[in-house]
């Protein structure tokens, strides 16, 4: 099952996204897969063909400022959660998607959770992979330093930041083939580094976590949490506490996975996702 690469203009912003579609048309809602930092939609590539083979359309965009999507100047795009949410809403509307299954991962994946709280009628079901969900969350140094004055300006122009961050968070070696894809935007233009710096600088983690903690107390849609236990940045106890306040939730521990589970454990992610999507509503 092949993955198509698409680029569309939505207002002033150009979005790049990957898409895998089932051979036979389906009435099932599509899956929207949102990546974290400093990743790309490419992180879902091993997972998407499995989903399409089982009859699900899978769409994975590069966030604005990441991968092959637009990297506007900070005067044109604020790189705040509100700016990302507005842009994502316009992207979804442009694709004429009314309802979808939402899958989020990582720092910036938390923006997807904020989107779900603001547009709950669009989200059929929700899957969360190693995404900050607690007011106790601290931005890890490997990511925090990318948004600091002077230090961040230098670090975000170094393509090796991808190696250090992805491997530091996953605790696994990332293949050279995959690193070539992740590094490419940083080798192509300095805009990639500047966009990453602005994204980290404006992540607004504390108010974002407050919105997530308060909002999900009233969340009713079926939710699957897939959690890499070896994540060095997001303690499992935080997601355990988060899961306790959800009404319709399943929490699955991935014993060998770290912060980026879809990069190394795509088969386990796929199997659990498919079981979740096929399960009859309670």
Q: 134-168: per-residue pLDDT in tens?
A: 999 999 999 999 999 889 999 999 999 999 999 99
Q: Determine the Cα–Cα distance for residues 184 and 95; give it in Å rounded to an integer.
A: 27
Is residue 207 exposed (0-12), middle (13-18) or buried (19+ Cβ within 10 Å)? exposed
Task: Report pLDDT for 2.
Answer: 83
Omega of the bond prior to 38 within 30 degrees of 0, cis?
Answer: yes
Least confident of 27-31, 57-61, 125-129, 238-242: 27-31
Mean pLDDT estimate for the chain? 94
Q: Is 269 left (phi over 0), alpha (psi -120 to 50) or beta?
A: alpha
Q: Per-residue pLDDT tens for 194-249?
A: 999 999 999 999 999 999 999 999 999 999 999 999 999 999 999 999 999 998 99
pLDDT band at 178 (very low <50, low <70, confident <90, very high): very high
Q: Is 280's pLDDT higher than 90?
A: no
Task: Report pLDDT for 100.
Answer: 98
- Overall average pLDDT of the 156-183 stretch: 92
Task: Report pLDDT for 282.
Answer: 52
Task: Report pLDDT for 26.
Answer: 78
Q: Determine the Cα–Cα distance for residues 26 and 188; give it in Å rounded to an integer.
A: 38
């Amino acid at each position: 099952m092949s993955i198509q690469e698409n680029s569309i203009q939505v207002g002033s912003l150009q979005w790049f996204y990957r898409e895998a579609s089932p051979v036979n048309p389906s009435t099932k809602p599509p899956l929207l897969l949102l990546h974290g930092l400093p990743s790309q939609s490419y992180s879902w590539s091993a997972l998407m063909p499995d989903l399409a083979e089982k009859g699900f359309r899978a769409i994975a965009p590069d966030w604005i400022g990441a991968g092959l999507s637009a990297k506007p100047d900070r005067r044109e795009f604020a790189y705040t959660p509100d700016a990302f949410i507005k842009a994502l809403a316009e992207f979804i509307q442009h694709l004429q998607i009314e309802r979808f299954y939402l899958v989020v991962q990582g720092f910036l994946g938390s923006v997807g959770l904020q989107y779900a709280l603001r547009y709950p009628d669009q989200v059929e079901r929700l899957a969360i992979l190693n995404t900050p969900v607690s007011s106790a969350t601290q931005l890890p140094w490997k990511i925090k330093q990318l948004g600091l004055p002077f230090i961040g300006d230098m670090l975000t122009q170094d393509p090796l930041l991808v190696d250090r961050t992805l491997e530091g968070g996953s605790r696994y070696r990332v293949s050279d083939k995959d690193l070539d894809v992740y590094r490419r935007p940083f080798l192509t233009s300095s805009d990639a580094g500047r966009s990453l710096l602005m994204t980290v600088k404006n992540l607004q983690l504390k108010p974002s976590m407050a919105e997530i903690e308060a909002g999900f107390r009233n969340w009713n849609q079926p939710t699957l949490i897939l959690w890499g236990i070896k994540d060095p940045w997001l303690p499992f106890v935080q997601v355990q506490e988060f899961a306790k306040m959800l009404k319709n939730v399943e929490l699955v521990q991935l014993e060998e996975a770290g912060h980026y589970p879809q990069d190394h454990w795509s088969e386990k992610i796929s199997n659990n996702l498919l079981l979740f999507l096929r399960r009859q509503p309670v």
